Amino acid sequence: MPSEDEGRIEELKKSLYSRSAPDVRTRRKLRFSDKTSEVPTAWERPVETPSEPVELNETYKEKIPMSFLTKLLIASALFCAIAVGVGALLFFQGANLISADNIDIVINGPVSVSGGEPIKFDIKVANKNNVDLQVVDLAVAFPDGTIDPKDTSKELKIFKELLGDIPAGRSLDKTVEAVIFGEENLQKQIEVIVTYSVKGSSAVFTKTRSYDVLISSSPIGLNVSSFTEVTSGQEFDFDIDVTSNSAEILKNVVLKAEYPFGFQFLSSDPKVAFDQDTWRIGDIPPGQKRTITIRGVVQGENTDVRVFRFRVGAQHSRNPEDIGTEYASVERELSIQKPFVSVEVYVNNNEAQEDYVARFGESTRVEVAWFNNLSVPISNMNITARLSGNAYDKTAIQPDLGTYRSADNEIVWNQISVPELGSVSAGDSGKVSFSITPTNSKATSLTNPIVSVHVDISGNRNQESRVPEKLTSTAIKNIKVASDVSLSGRSLRTVGPFTNTGPIPPRAEQETTYTVLWTINSGFNAVHNAQVTASVPAYIKWMGQIAPASESVTYDSNKGTITWDVGNIPAGTTGSQQRKEVAFQVSLEPGVNLVGQAPILVDQSRLTAIDDFTGSMLESTHDSITTRFSTDPAYRERDENVNP
């Protein structure tokens, strides 16, 4: 290092570490002076020196992979080229392809029609493709309620016709006729289906077009006349007018009624065809009218509303009880008002609302209870009880106070026989009564015996204006008679389905067999769930023989009981060949304690069954069956007693 520089360094050290030289820094500071320095603005390139080229190994040079990005770019370029080519092909040669959009179905017809009038539809099928359509098939699907105008008895569901081939750029026309029925202001839809194929293809293609038609008027006018208000239990009528508005004969017309809860059908004119709600009107010529009258009674609470619906149309082709094509429908509301007089009919003090079940020959007391619901008096009240039914016997009536008119089958109570009926104050109540005995006056021909009591109460309402003076209230009570089902039994020896053995009279400690026969008569009503049960003494042996073998008879050896599951028994089997019978065989080996007695073969037998008509439980019993086979032709007196 030069000596000058060393001197400077030494001097600097002294100024740094000396405490007595403050002027060093001053002198140092005064030594600063401006000096221009040159700073380079860019990196200087190093001087290139020639070098020898580096050569890669040939093995690595051949296996350098292509990058994923390069592959993706190449694939995209190929896809674009193919897409452009296909697009160009479709653009320049697309005229040889076929499209359903180039097939037009044009339907010309009325937008509204009168129900029942013949109408025409012109259908045009146009081929706007450059390819011919082959085997073109036309189908027209019509809505329900369409018939063939050439045969009005046939329903027209679908019309089909083969149109053939339609060349490119050409069209074919077809006119289709039909008669469409339906309710007024009902929108119906017609559907046209065209199926076709093209040359060189086995596929079948379809084109569909819909067309809406409004039914402007119904072919039938349906008018229902009746009360708007009735009292609960009051009989009333519906008058239903069915009028043809069609220019053609309406064939196989059917009327159906839908009844609300609480309505009871009583009768109609003409009579119903099916289930008390269907009437077969038949054919109606143009302009003609048919009237059906329905009589019934409705039950309900005060201010209840009942809705009745009536429908008319052509009979269903497969179900004669239903409507296939509906022409018109009408709904009618009926308001139930509280009766001016509440009336109840009680049988033998039974206040239940359901039918009463009685027995033949049993005297039955009937009470008619009434109550004035009005806030005003009722004058000249009359109470009439009309009697009917196949178990009603006019000679078995005993009225209390009332007048019995046997010719009219009526019992009448009025102010003559019951003075308090002359004027009944608001809130007053009372009772009248009579007795009746159900009687089998038709012998074995009687089925489902019943006595019906129909009560009418009428009177005049006072102190009110603009209201009907005559008022009525009604009530109905049915007295059904239960079947007199009965069970009988006997023992046999020489007759019957089995061969019996052993000594007669029977001997002590020796075996003798008997046939036991049970017989059931169902009487006037059919019964179901019938069953007979009985027990046998310990000295009786069950032989397992049953006739007929189809009957279900079982023996419980643990309990010593015999059970016959009879099942259903038809009505009217008393004394006929239809009555139910079963025979079985038992064996008796009496002990010496039974000597001189007629031993019991089967203890008391008990029959139970349910009456189909009344729904009541029936019961019949038969006394014990012994060795006394007195109905057997070979029986002799004392043959039943056991000998030593």
Report which of 494, 539, 488, 534 is spatially closest to residue 514, judged by C-alpha positions: 494
Distance between CA 516 and CA 582 in Å, rounded? Answer: 8
Interacting residues of 65 by C-beta distance below 8 A, sequence separation 6+: none
Structure token pair of residue 461: 């309402």
Entry pTM = 0.49
Q: Is the pLDDT of residue 628 over 60?
A: yes
Distance between CA 612 and CA 526 in Å, rounded? Answer: 6
Q: pLDDT band for 553, please (50, 70, 90 cuts).
A: very high
Q: What is the pLDDT of residues 223-278, one digit of tens each?
A: 888 888 777 777 788 899 998 887 778 888 899 999 998 899 999 998 888 888 89
Residue type at 611? Answer: D
Say what the alpha-carbon torsion angle 234, 239, 240, 242 is, to the nearest 10 degrees.
170
- The pLDDT, as a whole number, for residue 27 is 46
Across the chain, mean pLDDT equals 83
Interacting residues of 405 by C-beta distance below 8 A, sequence separation 6+: 411, 412
Angle, alpha carbons 185-191-196 (nearest 5°): 170
What is the chain's length?
Answer: 644
Q: What is the pLDDT of residues 175-184, one digit of tens each?
A: 998 888 777 7
Give the SS3 label for residue 384: strand
2 CA to centre of own chain = 127
Per-residue pLDDT averaged across 571-597, rounded? 84
Identify whether the C-beta of residue 188 lies closer than 8 Å to the C-beta of residue 110.
no
Of 117 and 520, which is predicted with more confidence?
520
Q: pLDDT band for 515, please (50, 70, 90 cuts).
A: very high
Q: Which of 103-112, 245-254, 509-518, 580-589 has the lowest mean pLDDT?
A: 245-254
Query: Which bin fits 275, alpha (ψ -120 to 50), beta or left (φ > 0)?
Result: left
Q: pLDDT band for 610, please (50, 70, 90 cuts).
A: very high
Distance between CA 205 and CA 194 in Å, rounded? Answer: 8
Q: Is the pLDDT of residue 283 over 50?
A: yes
- The pLDDT, as a whole number, for residue 29 is 46
Distance between CA 389 and CA 364 in Å, rounded? Answer: 15
Identify whether the C-beta of residue 140 lies closer than 8 Å to the C-beta of residue 208.
no
Q: What is the pLDDT of residues 452-474, one digit of tens each?
A: 999 988 888 765 444 444 567 77
Q: pLDDT band for 632, please (50, 70, 90 cuts).
A: very high
Residue type at 553? Answer: V
- The pLDDT, as a whole number, for residue 459 is 86
- The pLDDT, as a whole number, for residue 15 is 65
Per-residue pLDDT averaged across 411-419, rounded? 92
Sheet of 151-155, strands arranged across: 103-108, 118-127, 171-180, 146-148, 151-155
> Do the strands 235-244 and 263-269 form a parallel or antiparallel pair, or are they unpaired?
unpaired
Identify whether the C-beta of residue 567 lies closer than 8 Å to the C-beta of residue 528.
yes
- The pLDDT, as a whole number, for residue 92 is 47
